[in-house]
Structure 1
Amino acid sequence: MSDLLRFADELYAVPLAEFTARRDARAKELKAAADADAAAAVKALRKPTLAAWVVDLLVRVEADQIAQVLDVGAALREAAAAMDAGELRALTRQRRQLTAALAGRARAAAAGVGVRLTDSVLDQVEATLTAAMLDAGCADAVRSGLLVTALASTGVEAADVAAAVAVPEALGFTASARAAEPPPRPELHVVPDPDADAKALAAARAEVEAAEEEVEQADEALGAAVAEFERLEARSLQLQAEIEELRRRLDALEAEADDLDEAMEGASAEVEEAQTELGEATERLAAARQALDRLS
């Protein structure tokens, strides 16, 4: 395992609010040690969206559940390849149950580090887990625990996940498991907190940042969904045109076959007539030869 991958495994496990400070501190250490390339590589590690961070958290604190999700996904893809309708229905129900259950665990795990998740973020978490079940590449990306953005896949075409992970080495890597954080205990203050206003302002800014990330992610998801719909619509129109062309060709061939049938009937009658004339001519020839023989 490279030093960058080892650090990334640690970095993407920290609370989202600490991500940038941890990353920049490590880059500064490497720069001070005259390792400019390593410092640049660390500095380039992207902060995950809130939904991606939640999935990265689940991979570490709910490793067994995530493994079950990925196992069901592999079985689902095998059933789809085998066209096993009964198995597909059963696995699809199991897939929905698992993703819904993990969404609840995601809310609890995030609460353990003081993060409140909106329904929109949980929808993206469920979409990412579903993508991991439908697409093998998405499964590798989720397993790494180094997601930087949520995933989406219909399972029809292989998803391009290279840009969704922190480093290329992530695909094929499995995140280190760790225990879940206990829920934060309420703070009791005998006297008013002098930093209450500053904390409230910081919390409000964090909320705005999270909301902006949600909007950006939702916009990306919408763009991807629209693009996929337009691609499928174009293919549908193409197939309809091909079907119409084949129908026109079939009509033409059927008409040609009818004409051939009529021509064959006429030709058959001509054959019969010619055979009759040949028989009569043969008889006349025989009679003429007999007459000639008598005269000779």
Structure 2
Amino acid sequence: MELDPVLELYGLPPEEFTAARNELARVLQVAGDVRSSASVKALRKPTIAAWLANRLVRIAPDMIAELTEFGSDLRDAHQSGDRVTLQRLTPRRHEIVDRLVEVAKADVADGRVVTATTAERLAATLDAALVDPGAAQLLRTGRLTTGLRHVGFGVVDEAGVPLPVVGAVPKRPLAQAARSAATARKAAVTRKPTADRTRKSAAEELRRRQRAEVQERLQHIEADYEVAEKERLDAESELDANEHHIADMRTAIERLSDELERARRELRQAQSRTRQLERALTRAGRNAAAARRRLDAQQQRLEALSD
């Protein structure tokens, strides 16, 4: 199966995707390529946000390349913990994403409405491709079926600037650490071996219990996260389906409006024709009545002559 026809599917408006996909699957099946036909038939219809992202790959490839190339610089700065560079790059990060969203809105400004939710999902998709190389690769395929969202890239300050991740336990001042070490060394000289072993055993037992408690809490948090993430995905899927339904209904309303206007024109024409036929019937009725009167009069004359 050639890839071009499949790529072409993802460049079509969402309302045309299903029919075009089914037709391509039918053509492949008729040609005897049953496996490819089944693969095409299984292709998912893209969400509105995914379709807009796919459109950007086609109409603005240079801007998409700029996005992914800039993402490499941003990741390098983040991994190196270069806060100054991150502060400098972050405004451009938002600028690139916002500019691409505006390009997408302008491209579909022919009557299609890009909702605030869809615009946010498109921005999240572009931002995910910017910070994550895997997401960037998915975006470049031009075959997204759903929007992307990146979680866990790093922490941000109140201005939204990513910050390097630091350890959870703050470092003590050097002098304090030195005093503690000296105290520990001095105490170690006077401790008895048995007391050392006892404290070591108690410390290990304490750490073991702490690890067990943390592990148990982590399992509960992971379970809660899985439930919350599933609910989010379900809600996102329902919203996407509803947006598709709204788009389909708008298309149906436009089609039915055209049919209604055409029916109204035909009704007006039929009503006009009815009035013409009624007038013609009236004239024909008068002519028939006059002819009947003449016929009766002629018959009476004929009967009178016969007598």
> Structure 1 length normalisation: TM-score?
0.53
How far off is 1:56 after superposition?
A: 0.4
Whether contact under 8 Å (1:131, 1:152) holds in the other structure is yes
Q: Deviations over 1:6-61 (max 9, x none)?
A: 22211101111100000000111111122211110111111111111110011111
Alignment match of 2:55 (pick from 54, 57, 61): 57
For the residues of structure 2 that align with 1:153 and 1:46, how far apart are their CA atoms?
22
The corresponding residue for 1:208 is none
Residue matched to 1:138: 135
Superposition deviation, residue 261 in structure 1: 5.5
Q: Pairwise mapping of residues 76-225 of structure 1 onto structure 2 (< 5 A)?
A: 76-112=74-110, 114-154=111-151, 156=153
Q: CA deviation at 1:255?
A: 7.3
Distance in 1, matches of 2:138 and 2:44, equals 15
Contact 1:134 1:154 in 2 (8 A): no
Which consecutive unaligned segments of at least 5 residues does structure 2 have?
155-167, 172-179, 192-307
Alignment of 1:215-294 (within 5 A): 257-260=185-188
C-alpha distance in 2 between matches for 1:85 and 1:46: 41
Higher gyration radius (CA): 2
Aligned amino acid, residue 75 of structure 2:
R
- The alignment yields a C-alpha RMSD, in angstroms, of 2.9
**Residues 233-287 of structure 1, C-alpha deviation per residue, up to 9 Å, x if partnerless?**
xxxxxx68xx9xxxxxxxx988764544667xxxxxxxxxxxxxxxxxxxxxxxx
Letter in structure 2 aligned against 1:106: A
Q: Distance in 1 between the 2:188 and 2:122 partners?
A: 65
Task: Name the CA distance, whole Å, in 2 between partners of 1:145 and 1:111.
Answer: 21
Where structure 1 has 5 or more consecutive residues not aligned to the other structure, the ranges are: 158-238, 244-251, 264-296
Letter in 2 for 1:6: D
Measured in 2, the distance between the counterparts of 1:12 and 1:28 equals 18
Q: Give CA deviations for 1:161-207 in whole Å, capped at 9, x if unaligned.
A: xxxxxxxxxxxxxxxxxxxxxxxxxxxxxxxxxxxxxxxxxxxxxxx
Match in the other structure for 2:40: 42
Tell me, in whole angstroms, the C-alpha distance in 2 between the residues paired with 1:256 and 1:70.
52
Instruction: Quickly say closer, same or farther: Cα 1:71–1:155, change in 2 above 3 A.
Output: farther
Q: Answer whether contact 1:131 1:155 (CA < 8 A) is retained.
A: no
Q: Distance in 2 between matches of 1:134 and 1:30?
A: 38
Mapped to 2, the partners of 1:254 and 1:127 lie a distance apart of 53
For residue 156 of structure 1, report the CA deviation from its aligned partner: 3.3
Provide the residue aligned with 2:29 in structure 1.
31
Alpha-carbon distance change, 86 to 260 in structure 1, aligned in 2, over 3 angstroms: closer
Report the alpha carbon displacement of residue 125 of structure 1 after superposing the two structures with TM: 0.4
Deviations 1:145-168 (CA, angstroms, capped at 9, x unpaired): 1101111113539xxxxxxxxxxx
